[in-house]
Structure 1
Amino acid sequence: MDIDIVAKSLKELGHPTRLGIFKRLVKAGEQGVAVGVVQKELNVPGSTLSHHISGLASAGLIKQRREGRILFCVVEYEKLLSVIAFLQDECCIDAQ
């Protein structure tokens, strides 16, 4: 994975509000969670939540889907695992 892509992902997760949103979405699993639920549970104003969700989506960490009038957010687990793998790939390589 490209270091610039990983850096953008980590940058987006480096903000406490975005990290809290992302953690909540991870807990929801593959079905995702409605934006309104996230807003209510985390007590984040709508415009602020929208801004943070946009950042997570632009980094490819989440995707959104609409079901009628409800907008759901879902973690892109493949991307998350790629970022984690990038950090682990060379673990302890110089220690041998």
Structure 2
Amino acid sequence: METETALAALAALSHPTRLDAFRLLVRHEPDGLSTGALVEASGLSQSTFSTHLAVLAKAGLVVSEKRGRQQIQRAGIDTLRALMTFLAKDCCQGRAELCEPLLAELTTCC
């Protein structure tokens, strides 16, 4: 992942509404949620939420697919994985002992 791509993803996640929406989508993988369900969960108007959704999509954190008459939103897991890897590799600088506690926590969280 390039630095600019990581910055775009981090910026997209830096807003509470977008972070909440993304976390909700991650919890609903691999099925995703309809746009309407996301709007309802956010408590915002359709137009306001669509702006937030567009920011997440532009950063690759949300992928939209049409299923029948509904637009289903899914978390961009590949982008999340790339971002997490980018951050861990950069912060650990090849020193595995720095990231071992993080890896241990990730394997016990789910």
Tell me the amino acid that sits aligned with residue 67 of structure 1: R
1:29 is paired with a residue of what secondary structure?
A: coil
Runs ≥4 residues deviating over 6 A: none
Percent of paired sites with the same residue: 30
**Counterpart in the other structure of 1:40:** 40
Question: 1:48-71 CA deviation, whole Å, 9 max, x = no partner?
Answer: 111111111111111101122211
Tell me, which stretches of 5 or more residues in structure 2 are unaligned? 98-110
**Counterpart in the other structure of 1:21:** 21
**Counterpart in the other structure of 1:12:** 12
| TM-score scaled by length of structure 2 | 0.80
**Counterpart in the other structure of 1:31:** 31
Identify which of structures 1 and 2 has the higher relative contact order when contacts are C-alpha pairs closer than 8 Å and 6+ apart: 1
Question: 1:4-36 CA deviation, whole Å, 9 max, x = no partner?
Answer: 000001000001111111111111111110111
> What is the aligned length?
96
**Counterpart in the other structure of 2:61:** 61
| TM-score scaled by length of structure 1 | 0.90
Tell me, which stretches of 5 or more residues in structure 1 are unaligned? none
- Whether the aligned pair in 1 keeps the contact of 2:25 and 2:32 (CA below 8 Å) is yes
CA drift of 1:91 comes to 3.0
2:90 is paired with a residue of what secondary structure?
A: coil
RMSD (Å) for aligned C-alpha atoms: 1.8
Larger Rg: 2
Tell me the amino acid that sits aligned with residue 69 of structure 1: R
